[in-house]
Structure 1
Amino acid sequence: MTPVLVVVALAVLLPWAAAPAARHLAGLLPPRAASLTLAGAAVLLAGGTVAALVGLFHVPFLAVLERLRLAQVVADWPAVVPVSGLAGALLVAQAVRLALAARRHRALLSRAWRLTGEGTAEGDVLVVPGEEAEAFALPRHRGRAGRVVVTEGMLRALGPTERAVLLAHERAHLGGRHHLFSAVADLAAAVHPALARLGPALEFHLERWADEAAAAAVGDRRVAATAIARAALAGSVGTAGAGGSVGSGGRGRGRGLLSVSTGPVPRRVQALLAPEPAGPRGRGPRAAASGLVAAVLVSALLALGLAYGLHEYVEYAARRIVGHRHG
């Protein structure tokens, strides 16, 4: 059973090396492609880890299905019960962490919708009274359509064109269903701690994705950069005395949701002041694509290796049964 253990170990340890590699690859790609790469890597690596643990956990049960006594399996592989028990414990821990993460997401949306209940709807925009400068994308929840939430304080802090940038940015979050990308990253981190490193990187690229959409909507990258910087500055001034974070607002209505003030704003502004990111051309993006393909192939080979190891176990069980019957 050593090959099975090797494959499982690789599947469990691979995320520690693959997560930094995925972040590096994303940095070589345009924002949309980078976001898809990071979310895909999170799903692939988390799924591989769960599959490996499920396969390992099922080894003793395969013995029962093949009508092979567990004592015979333990004699051939003494560690089968402890290893399977550890895999089962890890699966239970993952299930609990996934349930808690999903519950946090539901609670976050419920809280945000509750705190914006006094707002006035103007199409897909919900204007909330208050002096704090805050704006964020509020996803669909319990049958209520998604809304762009903006406070009166934020509207007063921006000029007409800058408001257009702000609304286009938040609409890009809603239209691209970016909250699902964030949820995927959080759930993947609940499965494997190494994947928590993907969350901040994904959040940055999602904001960059929305930044580029806003710049395209107003047709001026410099104006978009100025609007984002001014919105972040207004948010930080509005929360400095309340102990909040940039863009969180005095009451923190949008804390934890995607906002124009989320992430490293100076890097985002600098990117908007640079030329528009091109498609996957050049040596760097080609290397990124090659690395991503390599990661997929490695994961596929690990899955095949695990399947082969379990197949060998079934064959081993069958030979033992036949030998026992003829003995």
Structure 2
Amino acid sequence: MTSVLALLVLALALPWGAAAMACRLAGFLPPREACWVLTAAALLLAGGTLAALIGLFHVPFLASLEQVPLPRVLEVWPAAVPAACVAGSVMLVQLALLLRRWLQHRAVLKHAWRLAVTGTVHGDLLVAPGDDVDAFALPGYRGRRGRIIVTSGMLRALKPREREVLLAHERAHLSGRHHLFSAVVDLSTTVHPALRSVRESLGFHLERWADETAAAVVGDRKVAAAAIARAALAGARKRNGSGYPLLSVTTGSMPQRVEALLLPEPVLPRGGVRRAGAVGLAVTVAVSAVAALALAYGLHEYVEYAAVAVRGG
């Protein structure tokens, strides 16, 4: 049983290191690739955690399927039932948190769409009246296409070319379906707390992805940087609790975003130390995530083997 618990602890501990490595790796990559890496890492690590918990939870049931009396199993593994109860309790908490988070997402989206009907529609753009300074991408809901919500106050705060940057930024969120990346990683945090750092990193890189797209559309990185900075200074930095589904132009680490736009367009690292570091981190993240799944599978195989041994004894 000591070996089984050691495998379980290792499987549950791996996401802490792997999440930090994934965030580090994202810093080596262009925003688009960084978002894909962070989302994939979150899914793999959350899956490994769940697999480990499920493997531990079904130890007594596996013994039953193998027609091994539970008292015989407890003679070999005294902690089998308590450990299974703990794993089951953890999964119930995870399920409750997952449902709560999902309902919060739907409530935010529903509320935003109710507010959207009060504005003036121009294609995919809805201008909301008022002096508030904000702009965000509103994903589709119940058959309605996604829209860009911009307040009158935000439009007044920007120059004409800066408005182009703003609209291109929010359209990038919609066309790239960034709300799905955000939702997947946000929901993954209910499985393992280590993934919260991935969620924070993803939020920054999603905004960087939209920034780069907007800069490419207007063809001037300095204008894009000025627009992002002006929007941030004028805005009240309104945020919802999860960063989903409202992707606002004023969120993220603004100094880093502006600084990145004043530098050349980011590309995948080639050659030298940066490429070696990026490849090394990518391999480490992948190995860590797959190891969590492999350890959970090994837990299952070990339990099954031991159950057969108990039955044979």
Shorter-chain TM-score category?
Answer: over 0.9
CA–CA distance in structure 2, aligned partners of residues 233 and 15 of structure 1: 37
Deviation (angstroms), 1:255: 8.8
Match of 1:290 among 267, 280, 285: 280
Match for residue 239 of structure 1? none
Match for residue 242 of structure 1? none
Let me know the Cα RMSD of the aligned residues.
1.9
Match of 1:279 among 247, 250, 268: 268
CA–CA distance in structure 1, aligned partners of residues 262 and 234 of structure 2: 20
CA–CA distance in structure 1, aligned partners of residues 193 and 61 of structure 2: 28
Task: Write the letter of the residue equivalent to 1:301.
Answer: A
Deviation (angstroms), 1:193: 1.3
CA–CA distance in structure 2, aligned partners of residues 124 and 182 of structure 1: 21
- Greater shift in the superposed pair: 216-225 or 5-14: 5-14
Match for residue 211 of structure 1? 211
Please, which runs of 5 or more residues in structure 1 have no aligned partner?
237-245
**Contact 2:4 2:299 (C-alpha < 8 Å) held by counterparts:** yes
**Contact 2:18 2:289 (C-alpha < 8 Å) held by counterparts:** no
Q: 1:186 to 1:301 in 2, by over 3 A?
A: closer
Match for residue 129 of structure 1? 129
Identity %: 55
Match for residue 159 of structure 2? 159
Match for residue 241 of structure 1? none
Task: Write the letter of the residue equivalent to 1:269.
Answer: V
CA–CA distance in structure 2, aligned partners of residues 43 and 305 of structure 1: 16
Deviation (angstroms), 1:257: 1.8
Q: 1:307 to 1:256 in 2, by over 3 A?
A: closer
CA–CA distance in structure 1, aligned partners of residues 100 and 35 of structure 2: 24
Spell out, residue by residue over 1:125-170, the C-alpha distance to the aligned partner (whole angstroms, 9 max, x if none): 1111111121100011111110011111111211211111000000
Match for residue 304 of structure 2? 314
Deviation (angstroms), 1:172: 0.3
- The 5 A counterparts of 1:1-327 are 1-236=1-236, 246-247=237-238, 257-282=246-271, 283-323=273-313
Q: 1:185 to 1:299 in 2, by over 3 A?
A: closer
Spell out, residue by residue over 1:223-244, the C-alpha distance to the aligned partner (whole angstroms, 9 max, x if none): 00011111111214xxxxxxxx
**Contact 1:38 1:198 (C-alpha < 8 Å) held by counterparts:** yes
**Contact 1:185 1:199 (C-alpha < 8 Å) held by counterparts:** yes
Task: Write the letter of the residue equivalent to 2:296.
Answer: L
Q: Secondary structure at the match of 1:137?
A: strand
CA–CA distance in structure 1, aligned partners of residues 167 and 47 of structure 2: 36
Q: Secondary structure at the match of 1:148?
A: strand
- Greater shift in the superposed pair: 55-64 or 308-317: 308-317
The alignment of Structure 1 onto Structure 2 pairs a total of residues equal to 311
When normalised by structure 1's length, the TM-score is 0.90
Deviation (angstroms), 1:4: 2.4
**Contact 1:134 1:248 (C-alpha < 8 Å) held by counterparts:** no
When normalised by structure 2's length, the TM-score is 0.94
CA–CA distance in structure 1, aligned partners of residues 105 and 308 of structure 2: 47
Deviation (angstroms), 1:292: 2.0
CA–CA distance in structure 1, aligned partners of residues 239 and 45 of structure 2: 32
**Contact 2:98 2:190 (C-alpha < 8 Å) held by counterparts:** yes
Deviation (angstroms), 1:64: 0.3
Q: Select the structure with the greater relative contact order (CA < 8 A; seq sep ≥ 6).
A: 2
Task: Write the letter of the residue equivalent to 1:192.
Answer: H
Q: 1:268 to 1:72 in 2, by over 3 A?
A: same
CA–CA distance in structure 2, aligned partners of residues 75 and 116 of structure 1: 63
